[in-house]
Structures are given as structure tokens and as C-alpha cells.
Amino acid sequence: MKKEIVIIGGGIIGLCCAYYLQQDGHQVTIVDKSDISSGASFVNAGYITPSHFIPLAAPGMITKGLKWMLNSSSPFYVKPRLDVDFLKWSWLFKKSATAKHVTTSIPIIKDINLLSRELYSELKNSNDFDFHLERKGLLMCYQTEKAGEEEWKIGKRAIEEGLNAQNLTKEEVKKLEPNVDFNIKGAIYFDSDAHMTPNDFMPKMIAFLKKKGVRFYTNESITDLTFTNDKIVAVQTSKRTLKADEFVLAAGSWSSVLAKKLTMNIPLQAGKGYCINVFENTGISMPAILVEAKVAVTPMQGFTRFAGTMEIGEINHKINPKRVKAIANVAESFYNGLQIPKTSLENAACGLRPCSPDGLPYIGKTKNYKNLTIATGHAMMGWSLGPATGKLVSELIGEKNTSMKLDGFEVGRFG
């Protein structure tokens, strides 16, 4: 049955929800507080990563967070503050960071990433619109034996999960990336991963959706939501009232704020990440993560992107030059001869990733409202999980069997 659907949020998750819902014949409207030209969906590393199956909430992260708390240029930085939501999130994170949670989460995260990779390929082959998509795999480059050993443990677990991982020497890495002079000891190579250019995909997806009749209301904030008993009736924006049969909340880091208007508890914290684009030729052709500093390197269409850091703090888009410079310094220390231009540093951008306390997204219907579906909390995997989330949301709203089980993604798991 054709339904009128309003999606709150026009990032990669919201757009993919719109894509699959309009494919099912629904009339879709997207409302976003921005003009959908910046933010996390535009500044991420563009990875599709089945190999990244360890959740953010894992043993050792608390210790690392405390160690790095006083270092504003560290890879994982938690800005301490006396805020009730932050303190509750931190407590839930601590409770979730167990070996048991990691073991339970690995197959879930792997499977949804594999589903998304398949859907990206289907989208590429559909001829709906053309976009950059390459599957070259991912190099996890390390400079110390300790980091290499830790990474190979994950590699061996990946093999157990049916993925292909190889422990490469520096010389073997050179064969894959011949035009780069690496300053590394070696790398773990995962052939399961792919990469894209977000700045290429996002505007093309928006143009395609508009062509298909999806309505966009941008630069409009949600000011209120009207509900009767167990159903949402309408959302009030800064410019209009939007009524619908179904609503999807996919507003990224702002989702928990809107959930509060519905007296719902969806714990989230904004994890700020930065990116630097270098338009000069770097010789880099393989996606890589520089392990010790968690810096991602992606060869995109027309430029190389260096992205990184996870800064858990308030919702803002302030650029911290120290963190930008730290990313550049790490990149230059891993790639001999690489020089990141001053203009690239000055034009660095940031985005806010919505982080749940257990490192798993929220995907599903709510108990409170029959016609509300939540799709948020994807943290660093937002880009990777866009199509899978969109497909699952469309299946839920269409009351179909879902492409995978939603165990672990329950919206009300924190009460």
C-alpha cells in the first residue's frame, strides 16, 4: 500500500531510506536543517568496510580514552564535561565495553556491512545514476610490531568469519602500492572492503531522488511533533507542517534531541571527525588506515582524502587546528616524501558521527509510536551502512521480511 512518508534527516542514511522507499512506490519527503551540502556524509573516508567488525565499545577503549583525555590531538578524545546525557552515555559505554559484547557484535556488524556492499554494487549496476565505486580492499598499515600483532589478531578473526585477510611485509605492500614510499613495518590486507567518493555520490543521489518525485525541504529545523496516543500525526518545521502516514528519524547526531520531544530515550553522543583533501598527485592508489593513529587514507576522484580522529563532545562544527595538524603529521610520517599543502589544512572540514554507547546502530520500529522508524547511531560506519539501513527501513515500513535479523539494533535496548 502506498504511503506518505516523512524522513527527518538528509544524510547518507536518510537518502538511502528515501531511495528504497520510493522504489517501493511510496511518496517520500525529506526534511533537513541544512542544505545537505556538508557534514559527516560529505567528509567521511568513503569506506565500505566488512573488515571493521569490532564495535567502538570494546575492552581497552576506556583505558585509551582516559590516557588520551588530556591530549587534544589524540586519535580518540573524550571532552570531559558535567552533562547528564554525556555522563549517562559514558556509563552505558563502560557497561558495553566487554569481551562478550564484542563477540556478540562481530557477526552482526560484519553481516550488515556485507549486505550494504552488495546493495552498493546493485545500485552501481542499476544505471539509476553513475558514481565512483572501487573494490581494492584496505591496507591496515603499522609502524610498530605491537600494533601489527594486535591488527593480525583481528585479521585472524576475520578469516574465521569467512573474510580474506593477509599479513603483508613492507615489500609485499610495495607490490600493491608501487608509487608510494611507505615508512611502515607491514600491513594487514583485507580484500573485502571497497571505497567511494562521498562528494560525488551525495549530489547525484539527491538529483536522482528529486527526479523520482522525492520532495526536499532543506534549511528547515523541526520545531515540534504532534502525536495522538501511539501515532505521530505531523511534524512542524520552521516553515511548514508536514503530515504523513509514516515517519523516519534519521537525523544523525541530532536524533536523540528530537527523540526527547517524543519522551524517548535514544542515547547518542556526537563523535567529531576531520578530513583533509589533497588535490596534488600523491601517488596513493590504495585505501589505507594508519593504525597507530587511526588515520584513514582514501584515493578519491580527483584528490586524496586523509580523515581521522574521534572527538566525543558537544554538537558543534568548530575546527580544532591541532587535530587537523595531527592528521597531517601522521600521514607525512607514514608516506615518505608526502607534503600536505597549507591550503589543504586551511580548508579542512569536520562532521559529526552519531555514536551509540555500544557501537551498534539503532534500526527499527519503536514501542511508543507505531508509525515511527529509527535509523541512526551508525558512528564511523554511517557511509558503509547507508544502503543496508535504507533497505531494512523500507522492509519494516512495508511490513516485509527483513534482509537480515535486527537483533542488536533494537531501538529501545537502553530503556
pLDDT at residue 82 tops 90 = no
Q: What is the pLDDT of residue 79?
A: 76
Instruction: Identify the CATH class of 4-397.
Output: alpha beta
Alpha carbons 378 and 389: distance in angstroms, whole number: 10
Alpha carbons 60 and 73: distance in angstroms, whole number: 19
Q: Give the bridge partners for 262, in sequence order.
A: none
Name the band, by pLDDT with cuts 50, 70 and 90, for residue 68. Answer: low
Amino acid at residue number 53: F
Q: What is the pLDDT of residue 70?
A: 63
Region of residue 364 (phi > 0: left; psi between -120 and 50: alpha; otherwise: beta): left
Q: Give the bridge partners for 61, in sequence order.
A: none
Cβ pair 350, 41 in contact under 8 A: no
**Edge to edge, what strands does the sheet with 4-8 contain?**
215-217, 27-31, 4-8, 246-249, 372-376, 362-365
Q: Is 233 helix (H, G, I), strand (E, B) or coil?
A: strand
Q: What is the pLDDT of residues 326-359, one digit of tens each?
A: 999 999 999 999 999 999 999 999 999 999 999 9
pLDDT at residue 276 tops 90 = yes
Q: What is the pLDDT of residue 1?
A: 84
**Distant-in-sequence contacts of 313-319, Cβ < 8 A, 24+ apart:** 313/77, 313/78, 313/79, 313/81, 313/269, 313/270, 313/272, 314/79, 314/81, 314/83, 314/270, 315/253, 315/254, 315/257, 315/270, 315/352, 317/350, 317/352, 318/350, 319/274, 319/348, 319/349, 319/350
Q: What is the pLDDT of residue 108?
A: 97
Q: What is the pLDDT of residues 26-61, one digit of tens each?
A: 999 999 999 999 999 999 999 999 999 999 888 877
From 401, 285, 413, 317, select the one nearest 358 (Cα to Cα).
413
Q: What is the pLDDT of residues 112-169, one digit of tens each?
A: 999 999 999 999 999 899 999 999 999 999 999 999 999 999 999 999 999 999 999 9
pLDDT at residue 80 tops 80 = no
Alpha carbons 340 and 329: distance in angstroms, whole number: 9
Amino acid at residue number 85: D
Q: What is the pLDDT of residues 198-221, one digit of tens each?
A: 999 999 999 999 999 999 999 999
β pairing state of 241-243 and 231-237: antiparallel
pTM: 0.96
pLDDT at residue 64 tops 80 = no
Q: What is the pLDDT of residues 83-110, one digit of tens each?
A: 899 999 989 999 999 999 999 999 999 9
Q: What is the pLDDT of residue 220?
A: 97
DSSP state of 280: S
- The angle that helices 61-68 and 84-96 make with each other, rounded to 10 degrees, is 140
**Average pLDDT over every residue of 56-80:** 73
From 120, 114, 38, select the one nearest 352 (Cα to Cα).
38
Cβ pair 385, 361 in contact under 8 A: yes
Widest pairwise Cα distance in the chain: 65
Report percent pLDDT > 90 for the chain: 88
**Range of weakest confidence among 69-78, 224-233, 330-339, 345-354:** 69-78
